[in-house]
Structure 1
Amino acid sequence: MSYEPVVLEKKLNSPRIIEIATIENQVNAGTKELMALSLFSGGGGLDLGFSAAGFRVGCSTDIDPFSCKTLILNNGRKVFYNHAHSITADITEISAEYLLTNAELSNSEIDIVLGGPPCQAFSIFGRRQGLDDPRGNLVWEYLKIIQEIKPKAFVFENVPGLKSIHDGKLFEEILRELTINDTYAISTHNYQMAEYGIPQFRERVFIIGAKNGSLVPPMLPTHGNEPLLGLKNYRTVREALRYLPEPGTFSKVPNHIGRKHSPRIVSRYENLKFGERDPKTRINKLHPERPSFTIIVGSDKGGGKGHIHPFVPREVTPRESARMQTFPDWWEFYGTGRHVIRQVGNAVPPLFAALLAEHLRVHIFEETKQKSYEDFIDILGLGYLQE
């Protein structure tokens, strides 16, 4: 595979100040600023995507200090991403009042609450302990904040396994609680990220609440293997990795440091076919002409790994995994090793988050749709996905 120098900024003949103004105009065109509160913010996938769609994240919080430092580290790198407050805190020990006071906000200013309580308790990749797992109980902490703030809308994201664990009874109870005495109209949709132009197979469930009674229809798929249905082709691993140099070469791309492998592992990886699983490390070799396998996190003790690069006998770097998640190269993750891969693997792809945010602007906040998939590629700086 040939590598080309990475392009971090869009090349324009005009001065950079014109570029900044152009991006700002793209983000704000025909929209009003809406205030968001972000819970379980992680490495910033929802925060970044919603910011690109013109929301202002007035406050975010997570128990992981590395994630909070990532949000601070990227503050102001783009005109649309000016993160006001990032608070490291255990959500079981704080209240909505605490968050709002520290962020100098009031309940009435919050238009939407975003969040995805840790999903490992419900994931098919875990033991599916549900509420027997302490992380499963964090679902109720999310509900507590919603009940205290009563925002105009909320987005609750999790793995599809949430719907089936405990024979579906847990999911039914969550939906009942989220209505808060019929205050919110609830819409629930499963989304396969690859069907919306994300170069990764990743399925998630989104529960959306609207205080104004609006039921949000599902977003229609735009990508797939059915051109006769008007779908564009899936975005692929090859597209996600293009223009990225090999790790270890002179490069300013952050978080692009690979693992060292023994000759024995290198030999095994060389002999794998595209899509085949290594029997020892139990990770898959990526197929260049398909979306990536799901980026996974590992346990609380570590263990999160990337997949195997399709053309080089090594595991992908955190930056290459971030590419599959549609984090732009200018977005830097704080920390090293497992701290970064956990932030990447836990995230909602920012490009999908931006599409969802635009969808909610139309169907909850009654605005006219303005920005497209291609617009968000440009706004976020995802040059590697440009046609």
Structure 2
Amino acid sequence: MKRYAISLFSGAGGFDLGMEAAGFTTRYCSDIDFHSCQTLQNNRDEGLRSGLHHFLSEATVEQADIKEVTTEHILDRANLKKDEVSLIYGGPPCQAFSVFGQRKGMDDPRGLLLWEYIRVIREISPPIFVFENVAGLLSIDNGKVFNMFLDEVSKDSNGNKVYEISHYLLDTAEYGVPQFRSRLIVFGAKGKEIPPIPVTHTEHPAEATLRAYNTVGKVLNDMPTPPSSKLANHIGRVHGTDIINRYSALAYGERDSKTRINRLNPNRPSYTIVVGSDKGGGKGHVHPEEPREVTPRESARIQTFPDFWAFSGTSRHPIRQVGNAVPPVFGAVIGSHILKEFFEDPDAPNFDQIIKNLKLEYLY
């Protein structure tokens, strides 16, 4: 049985890869960013052409401003009826919460990305939705803005409660991602509350059911020296002598005083990847063994993207897409949890099956 999903604010497809690896079939992905949509489209088409993978094989990819897209249009492009949609997932850029608070929530909802997310949820009314975003949303205006959002997204347009809401602050390193990355996950489910996702990884596992953190060294140790044509986006920045000397002197975990990034410890998960702004500034951290910043492809491994998933654009575009993404493994853990707890699916994949489904040989 196929369970169809709709992806909003899709970016480079990290959440989409995860949901499909868990077992959902995404039929519509959209984002306003050109290069992100090119990444989705190119990888979908290459998978169909080569047979290497089947991710997003049924998805329509659309570059669009969500404020200008009706739910009728979304359903038409997805070739779905409302009652055929099992899941909506995604999360607006975090700036949406600041604007939401400044505009006092629903008093003037026009043009608010957060409101558009709520609008699509209300009009399609899927059995369950999942919202992902940065941890800082919990503290805007002492939590008032976040609580306002939870109240609104739980109701229909008439003010009737539709969804049981649960939210959790999770760190991706505790779910097999070789990166410390704190993320807020909100579930809205009809008829039941979604329980917490059990932790699978820890620093010093004392229980047989838990595994040790995946580490930077584990995912980088077999990579060729950049630049390399063997892997997409494996091209690094060219550093001058001054930067090389500073990076060479850094101890594991130490931060460079000028670039404000840390040298990675091969025996621990990475620090959170720095995203930057639309004008640039996104970067990885300092490679654990070489005096250079990690390449976009190395950052993509730290984010648990498969090596075949190539990113569109040059220079700042790939690293920004990587840094903004939901780690696919983390997305798959969320998707599997939904299948198990909400849909009561006995075939929801475990961690080993997720790794296999995503073809992440470097995590085996």
TM-score (structure 2 length as normaliser): 0.91
CA contact (8 A) 1:302 1:338 kept: yes
The answer on 1:185 being equivalent to 2:145 is: no
Instruction: Encode CA deviations 1:142-189: one digit per residue, 9 max, x unaligned.
Output: 111111111111011111111111110111111111111211111111
- Counterpart in the other structure of 1:195: 174
Instruction: Give the 3-state SS of the residue equivalent to 2:238 in structure 1.
Output: coil
- Counterpart in the other structure of 1:40: 9
Instruction: Encode CA deviations 1:27-83: one digit per residue, 9 max, x unaligned.
Output: xxxxx2110000000010111111112211100110001111111111134135414
CA contact (8 A) 1:199 1:234 kept: yes
Separation in structure 2 between the aligned mates of residue 163 and residue 369 of structure 1, nearest angstrom? 34
Instruction: Give the 3-state SS of the residue equivalent to 2:112 in structure 1.
Output: helix
- How far apart are residue 109 of structure 1 and its match? 1.6
- How far apart are residue 308 of structure 1 and its match? 0.5
Instruction: Encode CA deviations 1:259-307: one digit per residue, 9 max, x unaligned.
Output: 0000111011000111000001111111110000001211122111111
Q: Alignment partner for residue 305 of structure 1, among 283, 291, 311?
A: 283
- Counterpart in the other structure of 1:160: 135
Q: Alignment partner for residue 244 of structure 2, among 251, 266, 277?
A: 266
- Counterpart in the other structure of 1:238: 217
Q: Alignment partner for residue 78 of structure 1, among 49, 53, 58?
A: 53
Separation in structure 2 between the aligned mates of residue 194 and residue 120 of structure 1, nearest angstrom? 25
Q: Which moved more, 1:113-122 or 1:255-264?
A: 113-122
- Counterpart in the other structure of 1:103: 78
- Structure 2, unmatched stretches of 5+, are 104-108
Instruction: Encode CA deviations 1:86-126: one digit per residue, 9 max, x unaligned.
Output: 1101111222112222332221221110111112566xxxx
The answer on 1:284 being equivalent to 2:287 is: no
**Aligned amino acid, residue 130 of structure 2:** V
Q: Alignment partner for residue 272 of structure 2, among 271, 288, 294?
A: 294
1:108–1:167 distance in 2 versus 1, CA, 3 Å: same
- Counterpart in the other structure of 2:115: 140
Q: Alignment partner for residue 68 of structure 1, among 37, 47, 51?
A: 37
Separation in structure 2 between the aligned mates of residue 59 and residue 168 of structure 1, nearest angstrom? 32
- How far apart are residue 372 of structure 1 and its match? 1.4
Q: Alignment partner for residue 52 of structure 1, among 21, 26, 37?
A: 21
- How far apart are residue 132 of structure 1 and its match? 4.3
The answer on 1:215 being equivalent to 2:190 is: no
- Structure 1, unmatched stretches of 5+, are 1-31, 123-127
| Pairing 1:6-21 to 2, within 5 Å after superposition | none
Separation in structure 1 between the aligned mates of residue 102 and residue 207 of structure 2, nearest angstrom? 44
Instruction: Encode CA deviations 1:294-351: one digit per residue, 9 max, x unaligned.
Output: 0121112211111110111111000000001000101111111211111111111101
CA contact (8 A) 2:333 2:351 kept: yes
Separation in structure 2 between the aligned mates of residue 366 and residue 234 of structure 1, nearest angstrom? 28
TM-score (structure 1 length as normaliser): 0.86
| Pairing 1:318-333 to 2, within 5 Å after superposition | 318-333=296-311
CA contact (8 A) 1:214 1:363 kept: no
CA contact (8 A) 1:242 1:384 kept: no
Instruction: Give the 3-state SS of the residue equivalent to 1:201 in structure 2.
Output: coil
CA contact (8 A) 1:256 1:320 kept: yes
Instruction: Give the 3-state SS of the residue equivalent to 1:228 in structure 2.
Output: coil
Separation in structure 1 between the aligned mates of residue 84 and residue 342 of structure 2, nearest angstrom? 16
The answer on 1:359 being equivalent to 2:337 is: yes
CA contact (8 A) 1:258 1:315 kept: yes
**Aligned amino acid, residue 283 of structure 1:** I
Instruction: Give the 3-state SS of the residue equivalent to 1:227 in structure 2.
Output: coil
- Counterpart in the other structure of 1:27: none
Instruction: Give the 3-state SS of the residue equivalent to 1:164 in structure 2.
Output: helix
Q: Alignment partner for residue 89 of structure 1, among 35, 39, 64?
A: 64
**Aligned amino acid, residue 336 of structure 1:** T
Matched residues, percent identical?
A: 52
Moved over 6 A (4+): none
